[in-house]
Structure 1
Amino acid sequence: MQKAGTGQAGDDGGGLKWLYLDMNAFFASCEQQMRPELRRRPLIVVPVRSDYTCAIAASAEAKALGIKTGTQVKLAKQMCPGLAIVDARPDLYVDIHHRILDVVDTVMPVEKVCSIDEVACLLMGPQRHEAAARALGHRIQKRILERIGECLTASIGIAPSRMLAKTAADMMKPLGMTVLRMDHLPGPLLGLEVDDFPGIGAAMKGRLFKAGISEVRQLWHLSPSRMRQLWGGIGGDNFWYALHGVDPPETVTERHSISHSHVLASELRPVEAARPVARRLTVKCGTRLRRMGLRCGGLHLSIRGTASGRAQAERVFPATSDTFRLLEAIDDMWHQCVGALNQPRIQKVSVTCLRMIPADTPPDLFGYSPAVQEDGRHMKLLKALDGLNERFGKDRVSIGPRPKLHDFVGAKIAFNRVPEVEEFWE
């Protein structure tokens, strides 16, 4: 029998701590799984039907032709005349995301949901032995294929830090598994490009290049203080530790705003057609504020024209979650922004709630708490509307005419944020 902390009872020298799962071409794979006629075909997923928007996902078959996330639709069609173009279905992707979480949880607990297609699991005790970690990874991959579908492949990275595990998951696709052991570093990393690491985008890569750092070997040998200097702050220290297999402290962030934006389809770009979009986004903000138990004390509106240029306005008011009050503010700002932009067609509309406070914030003895402006009759009506739309479907009852928008306006899947299910009925 081996002593605790030695041999197979724990770490085998690899320092392994994280198992990171990255779904391959997730949105496109979901579509191919749900629509068998799209399997083995080049496919892209788009947010809106327009030759001038970009793919938000590309299938493995499309990627083999050089089409990738961010490729303009018009160019993608030229690269592949038979390309399948599919409208995004965020509610489907969120549903499958939760099913994947359930499957992973049958093998080991999910420690952190990193994005809609990436999760991290913490290896404990004997699981940190490489053979055991690999076995867990293979079991997860197999169960996803068996229980969710043959198109849902996952790549897995296993490493000492979460950042290295994410990097490892991207090194072998699709359905790959890469292990980065502490006692083998930096060896397996030296064949990568510096921007293969999370946190090094085009701007950071350019900054490193100007400093004479173009290879991973040079990056590895930088000191923490030099990285801090290059990153311009503590982000450099955190990157150094993560690169060398040590997780930096987690930072906890608080929500300071709620924002919804929409890139307009061609028929919605005339100014008179775009205004209902701004109002619909505002209604969504109000519904979300009430669901989250919040009020906001200001709104920000931004509109971007098709001929470049942007106009924006901001209003501050007593804190509220009353949609009627929010709509009054947005109508006022809309006329201001349209006049300033002075263009007949609008490409994008964004609405942001500012100065948010909990709805139950009590009045301050000295009057420092934000004032509250809500009409009791309005709030009763809005609560009833929220309940009807949640029960019978989005926009079953609406405030004013319903704009001709797709079903998922405002329910955006950001890189590091998975929409809540409730957002699809708001």
Structure 2
Amino acid sequence: MRRPAGVERLYVDFDSFFASAEQHLRPDLRGRPVGVIPIASEHTGLIAVSREAKALGVKRGTFVRDARRLCPGIVLVTARHERYVDLHREIIRAIETVLPVKAVCSIDEMVCVLTPSEQTDALALGRSVKAAIARDVGATLTCSIGLGPNELLAKIAAEMEKPNGLVILHPEDLPGRLLSLPLTDIPGIARGNAARLARAGISDMAALWRVQPKELRRLWGSVEGERLWMGLHGYAVERPETQRRMFGHGRVLPADWRHLEGAYDCARVLLAKAASRMRRGGFSAKTLDLWLTDRHSADWYGEERFQPTADDPSLLASLARLFRHAARERPAGERLRSVHVTLNDLVSATEREADLFGYTTEARIKRRQEHLSLLADRLNAHHRGPLLHWGPWADIPGGYAGAKIAFNRIPDTEDF
């Protein structure tokens, strides 16, 4: 395992991105406490909070009613995901006037690689990245930058002096400032893992630093524990490339949609969005999964298996059959909270070519339906809306069905 002698990674982490984006896009919000909500409802939590609101005790996840109590002057804005994605692309272009972006980790986090000649002036490069963003995008959007020998340490450094920080962790200084951090400030150590470590007598960073890598692997129950140890100790950790396993979407149901018919209408839209993404990726699926949850988080689960399929009519027919099963098996009239659909057991186009499922009438119909589905995808992407679809299309309150930004997924333009 290689241990870098210098600072090889520069990590960019934006401060309160959605809220700062709204202040950037709407100058009247600058300097005011802002909270971003997923849908226009009093019964939801904030997904982003500006630094002005944070100073008054409002946090991400705070419910709207509590945010208004803590901060009577807070301005609540419904998230505009397509605008944040456009802004993300502007940011990437600005950063790349200084350094190439090696990887996009999320909508507001990116990592760059520093060459040996660049490592000698790493802090100056960090300041240049900040200046490029202010010049090409806008000074309202601030970021914190971390520099370290690997991606994990650079990310930790970026979190150390938020907002608008610039921190470098040299490999020769380790553990250094790491010892002052709570365990849950380390990416990968959530409260559950922290509790597991505490049961093993590891309650602070000094104790974690003394643990041997194989022991951390045992405590984690996987190789991730050993990778964490290597990353914290300054080793270069290269993760294997992940393989696409599924396409899916979920949605908390609007208040007046919390019945089986509303969940079905919502699931049809979510499935159509997931299937379109799957086709763009060049895959077919062999399994459709459906989850329905109520307010107690009790689940109903069903799945259908079939030959590799990518066309909307076939997939929607499978979904209809699953909902008929749900209607028979769930208590009549019980209110639902959320619905999730996933397309699993993926088969790539090249794999599928080996099995053309013959020249039967059914096969010809299936291929024709796939061609029509692809045509609908292109028309819908061009018009940025569901111009062409199979069966009824429900406009779900709050919008963004299948196009919301998730931590590890940035929607394509075609998703909106």
TM bracket (short chain): over 0.9
Which secondary structure state, in structure 2, belongs to the residue aligned with residue 82 of structure 1?
coil
Distance across 1 between alignment mates of 2:90 and 2:141: 11
SS at match of 2:380: helix
Give the number of equivalent residue pairs: 408
Report the Cα distance in structure 1 between the residues aligned to 2:30 and 2:414, rounded to whole angstroms: 30
* 385-394 or 111-120: bigger deviation: 385-394
What residue in structure 1 maps to residue 134 of structure 2? Answer: 145
User: C-alpha offsets along residues 61-102 of structure 1, whole Å, 9 cap, x if unaligned?
Assistant: 121122222222332222222222221111111111111111
Structure-2 change in CA distance of 1:92 and 1:338 (3 Å): farther
The answer on 1:136 being equivalent to 2:128 is: no
- 2:21 maps to 30
Greater CA drift, 20-29 or 373-382: 373-382
> Which residue number in structure 1 is paired with residue 384 of structure 2?
393
For 1:128, the aligned partner's letter is Q
**Cα distance in 2 between the residues matched to 1:198 and 1:155:** 16
**Partners in 2 of 1:372 and 1:72 — Cα distance?**
51
Matched residue, 2:295:
306
1:267-287: per-residue Cα shift (whole Å, max 9, x none)? 322332232111111111222
Matched, 1:45 2:44: no
Is the partner of 2:138 in helix, strand or coil? coil
Task: Pick from 337, 345, 357 the counterpart of residue 347 of structure 1.
Answer: 337
For 1:15, the aligned partner's letter is: G
- Letter of the 2:261 partner, please give it: E
Taking a change above 3 Å as real, the CA distance of residues 384 and 366 of structure 1, as seen in their structure-2 partners, is closer
Match in the other structure for 2:153: 164
TM-superposed CA distance for 1:177, in Å, is 0.4
Q: Which residue of 1 aligns with 2:410?
A: 418
The match for 2:205 is 216
> SS at the partner of 2:92?
helix
Instruction: Identify the residue that residue 382 of structure 1 maps to in structure 2.
Output: 373
Superposition pairs for residues 101-250 of structure 1, below 5 Å?
101-129=92-120, 132-250=121-239
Conserved in 2, the CA contact under 8 Å of 1:153 and 1:175?
Answer: yes
The superposition leaves residues 245-264 of structure 1 with CA deviations (integer Å, 9 ceiling, x where unpaired) of 11222221111111111112
Q: CA offset at residue 38 of structure 1?
A: 1.7
CA distance, structure 1, for counterparts of residue 45 and residue 248 of structure 2: 21
Q: Deviations over 1:357-390 (max 9, x none)?
A: 12342235999xxx96853442343233222212
Deviations 1:23-50 (A, max 9, x none): 1111111111111122222222122233
> 2:12 maps to what in 1?
21
Q: 1:71 aligns with which of 62, 68, 79?
A: 62
Moved over 6 A (4+): none
TM-score normalised to structure 1 length: 0.90
Q: Distance in 2 between matches of 1:89 and 1:373?
A: 41
SS of the equivalent of 1:111 reads strand
The AA in structure 2 aligned to 1:224 is P
Query: Is contact 1:48–1:263 with CA below 8 Å preserved after alignment?
Result: no
Alpha carbons 2:270, 2:341 under 8 Å: kept? yes
What is the CA deviation profile of residues 212-262 of structure 1, one whole-angstrom value per residue up to 9, with x for unaligned ones?
111111111111122112212211211111001112222211111111111
Give the whole-Å Cα distance in 2 for the aligned partners of 1:34 and 1:281.
29
Report the secondary structure of 2:203's partner residue. coil
1:279-322 deviation per Cα after TM superposition (whole angstroms, max 9, x unaligned) = 11111122222222211112001111235422110000121111
Judging changes above 3 Å, is the alpha-carbon distance between structure 1 residues 373 and 303 closer, same or farther for their aligned structure 2 residues? farther
Deviates more, 1:343-352 or 1:155-164: 343-352
**Cα distance, 1:374–1:388 mapped onto 2, change above 3 Å:** same
Tell me the CA shift for residue 179 of structure 1: 0.8
Q: Percent identity?
A: 39
TM-score (norm 2): 0.92
Determine helix, strand or coil for the equivalent of 2:192.
Answer: helix
Gaps in structure 1 of 5+ consecutive residues: 1-10
Give the Cα–Cα distance (whole angstroms) in 1 for the partners of residues 327 and 9 of structure 2: 50
The offset of 1:53, in angstroms, is 2.6
Please name the residue that 1:87 is paired with: 78
- Which amino acid is the alignment partner of residue 34 of structure 2? L
Given residue 216 of structure 1, which amino acid in structure 2 is its aligned partner? Answer: M
Q: Specify whether residues 366 and 316 from structure 1 end up closer, same or farther in structure 2 by C-alpha distance, changes over 3 A only.
A: closer
The answer to whether the Cα contact below 8 Å between 1:264 and 1:347 also exists between their aligned partners in 2 is yes
SS state of the match for residue 52, structure 1? coil
Tell me what 1:8 maps to.
none
- 5 Å-filtered alignment, 1:402-417, equals 402-405=393-396, 406-417=398-409
1:333 and 2:322 equivalent? Answer: yes
Question: What is the Cα deviation at residue 335 of structure 1?
Answer: 2.5
**Residue type of the partner of 2:180?**
G
Deviation, 1:187, is: 1.6
Instruction: Please tell me the root mean square deviation across aligned C-alpha atoms, in Å.
Output: 2.2
Residues 293 and 338 in structure 2, CA contact (< 8 A), matched pair in contact too: yes
The aligned runs of 1:280-295 (5 Å cut-off) are 280-295=269-284
CA deviations 1:157-185 (Å, max 9, x no partner) are 01112101000000011111011111211
Indicate if the aligned counterparts of 1:103 and 1:144 stay in contact, CA closer than 8 A.
yes
Task: Provide the rounded CA distance (Å) in 1 between the counterparts of 2:342 and 2:40.
Answer: 25
Deviating more after overlay: 358-367 vs 296-305: 358-367
SS at match of 2:301: strand
Structure 2 contact 384–414 (Cα < 8 Å) conserved: no
Separation in 2, partners of 1:307, 1:203: 21
Q: What is the identity, as a one-letter code, of the residue corresponding to 1:345?
A: R
Distance 2:223 2:372 in 1: 48
